[in-house]
Homo-oligomer: A and B are copies of this chain.
């Protein structure tokens, strides 16, 4: 359980730190201006494409992908501190380095389970940052934390599959560049509980697809990143070879996708918390009230110390989880993945809340990244299963030791 940086990590970490300073942070106000200036809420500000090119040139591209055939081939432990850095500017840096969800999960999934044809048609342009993709799993009418609830149907009909159902929170789906929907649905509702589901590639322009609307997150649409779409699939017909893996593999593929997805979220959340702490420290050092800098007030110092202590603990737990995933596999790290899913979003939410409070009204406004950071963080206390589901599961596992 060695968390020190190896040589490659140290080198990439330094390079990425510089890249953030030189390209990403300066691009943040540019991004905001471009978004404010454009009339189409779903248009992508040109600065993103510019950053992508810079990142490719710098050799900072596809770092997330462990499979050396396609990407950087970093372990989770190597990727963790890099991903944390990306989290410091979560609406720019991940996309700039082609390390943004949901593409990351989709690329991994295609790399691991996709056919050669699927690699050629979708994985390659995704790896090249030419297209983007969406992952269509969550449904509005059922508790998605219980994956067996899924109601969308994928029915074999001759040489095709026909898809019917309603999805929402399909992130990225409103991006004009989004070319691929990976859809989870049931091929056999009568099979075993975890063999009913399948996953299938659906080109976004297939007839029968209606993108109804973008979901809001505390007033934000995430429009410039493709939003979070509600989508209706009505007799959407695709060739049978668009299925990923075999019929009934859907649940297993989803599980395989979730572990890395969750730890990536948590790595970024550490970075978000660090960014918020930095902003808080800067603010209280500069801001004077009642005759002294906010930094001299005991309550503010309490926030800063607590933030530091909580961040350190959370980071170590994320690193341990990454190390476990590398050494015993995602399955062996199941409890730890749940543990970070429980611990990290609420930690980051707490730190950002204090940073907001230290900023006064500016903290809830568009003049700092804090309010947006907060909204995306709060959401992670319920995305991919609410905290309560993970806690109950973790507790049952803990209790198993005492039951025999």
A residues near B, CB below 8 A?
A: 1-4, 138, 140, 143-146, 168-169, 215-221, 277-278, 281-282, 284-285, 287-290, 295, 297-306, 308-310, 312-314, 316-317, 320, 335-336, 339, 342-343, 356-357, 360-367, 371-372, 374-375, 378-379, 381-383, 386-392, 394-396, 398-399, 401-403
- Shortest A313–chain B CB gap in Å is 4
User: What is the chain B residue whose CB lies nearest that of A288?
Assistant: B143
Determine the chain B residues whose CB is within 8 A of the CB of A146 once the complex forms: 289-290
Partner of A285, one of B2, B357, B389, B402: B402
Cross-chain contact B305 with A313 (CB below 8 angstroms): no
Determine the chain B residues whose CB is within 8 A of the CB of A317 once the complex forms: 309, 312-313, 316
- Shortest A314–chain B CB gap in Å is 7
User: What is the chain B residue whose CB lies nearest that of A219?
Assistant: B219
Partner of A308, one of B218, B305, B394: B394
Bound together, the chains give a CA A266 to CA B284 distance in angstroms of 28
Determine the chain B residues whose CB is within 8 A of the CB of A401 once the complex forms: 281
Q: List 24 A-B contacts (CB under 8 A).
A: A1-B2, A138-B361, A143-B289, A143-B360, A168-B361, A216-B366, A219-B371, A278-B402, A281-B399, A281-B402, A284-B399, A285-B399, A285-B403, A295-B399, A297-B298, A297-B388, A298-B299, A301-B395, A305-B394, A306-B391, A309-B394, A316-B316, A361-B383, A364-B378
Determine the chain B residues whose CB is within 8 A of the CB of A342 once the complex forms: 305-306, 309
Cross-chain contact B398 with A281 (CB below 8 angstroms): yes
Determine the chain B residues whose CB is within 8 A of the CB of A396 once the complex forms: 301
Cross-chain contact B215 with A216 (CB below 8 angstroms): no
- Shortest A336–chain B CB gap in Å is 8
User: What is the chain B residue whose CB lies nearest that of A335?
Assistant: B308
